[in-house]
Amino acid sequence: MEEISISKIYKRKKNDRDIFQELMPYKVKEILLIATYYDAYTIVREGQFSDKIVGEYLQLNLYAAPRFTSVATNEEALEALENRHYDMVILMAGLDKESPLELSQEIKKVDPEIPVLVLVNNNSDLAYFDRAADKIKNNIDRVFVWNGSTKIFMAMTKYIEDKMNLETDTKSGDVRVILLAEDSVKYYSRYLPLLYTSVMTQTQKVISDEGDIDELHKILKMRARPKVILVSTFEDAVDVVDKYLENLLCVISDVRFARDGKLDDDSGVDLIKYVQAKNMRIPCLMQSHDTDNAIRAMQVDADFINKNSDTLALDIYNFIYTKLGFGDFVFRNQSGTRVAVAKSMEEFEEKLRFVPDESLLFHSKRNGISTWLMARGEINVAKKLRRYQIEDFKSVKDLRKFCLDVFEASRIKQLRGRIIRFKPNIVNSNHYIVRMGRGSLGGKGRGLAFLSNFIENIYFKKLIKDINVSIPKTAIVGVDEYDNFIEKNNLYDKIYLDKNYKKVKELFLKGDIPDKLGNKLRQYLEEINKPIAVRSSGLFEDSLMQPFAGVYATYLLPNNDPDIEVRYQQLVTAIKLIYASIFTPEAQSYFSAVDYKIEEEKMAVIIQEVVGQEYNGKFYPNISGVAQSYNYYPFSYMKPEDGFSVMAIGLGKYVVGGEKTHRFCPEHPKLQLASIEDQIKDSQKYFYAIDMQKENIDLINDGEDAVTIKYELAEAEKDGNLLHCASVYDFQNDRLEPDLNLRGPRVVDFANILKYNQVPVAHALSVLLNIFKQAMGAPVEIEYAVDLSKGKDGNPTFHLLQIKPLIRQEMSVEIDMSKVDRNKLVMLANKGMGNGKVNHIRDVIYMDLSKFDRTKTEEMAEEMELLNQKMKEQDRQYVLFGPGRWGTRDKFTGIPVLWSQISNAKVIVEQGLEDFPLDASLGSHFFHNVTSMNVGYFSIKNNSELNFVNMEMLDKQEKIEHIHYFKHVRFKEPLEILMDGKKQTSVISYK
């Protein structure tokens, strides 16, 4: 298929956290303070100035105080501006008031954009600057008065930041605006520090109340606090109201300030009237030193504060707390009577379901819900709710449903694709991964987290129609819980010293799970009532560079016992067994093969809902499969990069074991190489499912097979699950028909799905393999399961279960066959995987074909284990030849070795025999180990000019050992092994 550009389709959805990061792009980090030594002394005389500023910031949980650079003369100031960038300049005006005016002109010539503020020492000096207003208006942005508190510097800094960020923050984050209309320097110098302190204290309190939020998120949320915008004329105030009406949180206005260039006694009253006329229910506060104005405030439905009040700070704090959404949300009815109180977002959502209709109407008309949400930094929800008016809904019931739907959608949107801490009420979703305990997620866990993030950030409905793409509901127990378990049960010395797996397993099973984890597991089981898969996720498992695939166990649990304690004990036992599986002989062979110490491995555990449905007492998915983005066995017009997939009915245990499955290319799903005779012979005959009626489940003795039963294919037909998955052999016409009403042998070929595209599984695989190989920067393998039952939207669901990279050695090797001496060839293969050159191997282990018996393949595997162990002890790698598929679970199609039984083989060759044809199809885990360890893997169906094994040459070499089935020979000189990965040609020759 045409390559999909991942950069064009991966659009990370912006949650609130992303928006917070975009807010306040302009930050005041460097301030130049210009003051004479005497003026500077008036500020610092009570202690270290910088420490006090930092202290003010830390008190309000502002984590980055600006740095001040002080200079004493105009010359030093101009030199400082030339040598370094400053975000703001503060001019101290003490005894000499003329000099700051002159310097401000010089500064603006150097940098016209830099904000310049003047700080005067006392109220009596303000008269001078009032008289000089015309002189300073183009050069000085604002004048402030020193009131004895370093909070004024914080207020000056925030005043500039808010002014500079106003436009961008209201657009990108819908940040609210507090408009302060005040022309008195004396009063706004007092007001601004109070306002900022109150707003930030309240914002911090709201954030802290949320509890489950990390420190960085708290810092980012502070950026969503309301902007405080100071204006001093009626015209400027009206401009702000008109431009930012949708974002206006409140108006705080003096009564008397300039209009049309003159002081006007009605400016404040008219401004509030202007705001109220917009019918936005915006809280207004009138402030004046004349208490008679309280009556005028009442007449325009505004609160009133006395500027000269001894409790001014408390009055402002109370106004912000009660009117601007910072306190608890008090649900009231039309008469203002309290009907309910919500202290947190969770409580608010709960109360919203049940408050009376009139209360919901009361707050909706006043925009109170949106205001309260905005104060909590719930930007997305607040924005969405604020777009609608009461008139947009037919009834209060519709309004309530809409509000609740917005909350639900927003919560899912914020969590999508993320790894979130465990809470019982959130485990029942597949839009994110729930973490129990800290620490790494392990190899498989990382793969799942990657899948979850990708699914939620790509709009798959556009790329893949008529099928949903998802991951199953997933919780992961982090590796720290493994350490906690070992520490709690004092196992460290016992398990690493004793190499006896049986004893180690007993120690793990006797141990107690940490209480905190145990409580979470119980709560999890109370929410999840479908079967669950408990999977290993070791640090090395499925990682990019290590080949630990399929070493550890997966336990399936029906999770249907009426007694939760029984279900809990089964889950805990599965976790303990997975922990113990690090110490199995197979795992220890792996550690030895890759030269890692067993102490370095730690175990996370994945708990995942099993995909599928229950049918007649058994639970299984309609389809399980494995797909790889690189096909080492292409035919016809397939290309290796088209990838391939194998599918089967039932649980994935059947597929990853390399049993008889249906193999196809997602790019060319109709292409079929096998004859009808071979398709019938090689069709799936049975499937695995969870026995939902089994009692007395014994995970300890029965292991992974404790609840998985092998069923005949006829059982799937009774369940109605062959409908799209099988065809029938029509004897009369010698063809396969996808019509189960016909009599005849059933052939699992997924014809309706692959040939007739009734469910677009092939297209989904093609798109997903294309995307994920780009995202991982390497060929990939995915495990999947398809649930053909219709979801809410009427479509089936394609579930991604796992992803891992397929590592290929990228050393380029080209084989020129014209230069190859065929007389010296040990092997020639035109179907092979692997890439590179090997020239250190002298040993070959191969099957004595005269002794081959397809019923004795398990004995052959045991014999191979002995030979492999000897090679390991001598630290020698070898070439391995043998009939059929290596590593299959089906003992009648090949030799069912575990990887640990042939781990020192550097080249593996599958041979086809006349009565034992070769179906080149590897088990998933086996395949991952082959590719990860850069092992050459060749397939020779039958001897020909282009494919052969020179058995005569092998028989002539020095015989090291011949047990029964296998011979071990050694060449005098190392063999030359060449693997051309692009052409898939491989040769082994003797020099």
Domain 24-149 has CATH 3.40.50.2300: yes
**Inter-residue contact 287 to 254 (CB < 8 Å):** yes
Contacts with 688 (C-beta within 8 Å, 6 or more apart), sequence order: 620, 650, 651, 653, 654, 708, 709, 710, 711
The pTM of this model reads 0.59
CA-based nearest residue to 441, from 683, 574, 606: 606
Backbone phi, psi, residue 477, to 5°: -90, 115
DSSP 8-state assignment for residue 796: -
What 3 state SS string does 216-285 have? Answer: HHHHHHHCCCCEEEEECEHHHHHHHHHHCHHHEEEEEEECCEEECCEEECCHHHHHHHHHHCCCCCCCEE
Q: How many residues does the chain have?
A: 991
3-state helix, strand, coil in the chain (%, to 5): 40, 25, 35
**Inter-residue contact 976 to 841 (CB < 8 Å):** no
Quote the crossing angle between the two packed helices 442-457 and 761-776, to the nearest 10°: 110
CA-based nearest residue to 196, from 245, 157, 165, 164: 157
DSSP 8-state assignment for residue 903: T
Question: What is the DSSP code string of 591-660?
Answer: HHHTT--GGG--EEEEEEEPPSEEETTEEE-SEEEEEESS-SS--TT--GGG-EEEEESS-THHHHTT-S
| Distance in angstroms (rounded) separating the CA atoms of residues 210 and 839 | 63
Query: How far does the chain reach from its first CA to its final CA, in angstroms?
Result: 43
CA-based nearest residue to 946, from 991, 986, 886: 986
Segment holding 873, helix H or strand E? helix 857-873
pLDDT along the chain (991 residues), means of 10: 59 46 70 79 52 49 68 88 90 77 86 90 74 71 82 87 86 80 89 80 56 44 73 94 86 93 93 87 87 91 88 81 71 80 76 81 70 62 62 75 72 60 71 82 84 79 87 90 89 73 87 91 90 87 49 87 93 92 76 63 89 94 91 70 90 80 88 77 89 89 88 93 89 87 90 89 92 83 91 87 69 68 86 78 93 89 93 92 82 82 89 64 54 74 81 92 94 88 80 73
Task: Give residue 598's pLDDT.
Answer: 65
- Cβ-count burial of 3 within 10 angstroms (0-12 exposed, 13-18 middle, 19+ buried)? exposed
Pairing state between β 885-886 and 966-970: unpaired
Residue ranges covered by each domain of the chain:
24-149, 175-327, 329-415, 425-610, 615-805, 817-990
Give ∠ CA 225-226-230 in degrees, rounded to 5: 140
Question: What is the b/e burial string over 546-562, where b = at least 16 CB atoms within 10 angstroms of the residue's CB?
Answer: bbbbbbbbbbbbbbbbe
Long-range pairs for 855-863: beta carbons < 8 A, 24 or more residues apart: 855/892, 856/965, 857/884, 857/891, 857/892, 857/894, 857/895, 857/896, 858/891, 858/896, 859/965, 860/895, 860/965, 860/966, 861/895, 861/896, 861/897, 861/898, 861/901, 863/963, 863/964, 863/965, 863/966
Domain 615-805 has CATH 3.40.50.2000: no
| Distance in angstroms (rounded) separating the CA atoms of residues 980 and 991 | 19
The three-class DSSP label of residue 727 is strand
Task: Give residue 47's pLDDT.
Answer: 43
Task: Give residue 216's pLDDT.
Answer: 41
Strands (E), 375-530: 419-421, 433-436, 468-470, 474-477
| Residue whose entry in the numeric block shows the structure tokens 């930041």 | 161
| Distance in angstroms (rounded) separating the CA atoms of residues 244 and 260 | 22
Backbone phi, psi, residue 590, to 5°: -65, -50
Q: Which pair of structure tokens corresponds to residue 488?
A: 């709690």
Domain 425-610 has CATH 3.30.1490.20: yes
- Cβ-count burial of 201 within 10 angstroms (0-12 exposed, 13-18 middle, 19+ buried)? middle
Same fold for the domain at 24-149 and the one at 175-327?
Answer: yes
CA-based nearest residue to 471, from 454, 490, 493: 454
**Inter-residue contact 575 to 470 (CB < 8 Å):** no
Fold of the domain built from segment(s) 175-327? Rossmann fold (3.40.50)
| Residue whose entry in the numeric block shows the structure tokens 């997924």 | 750
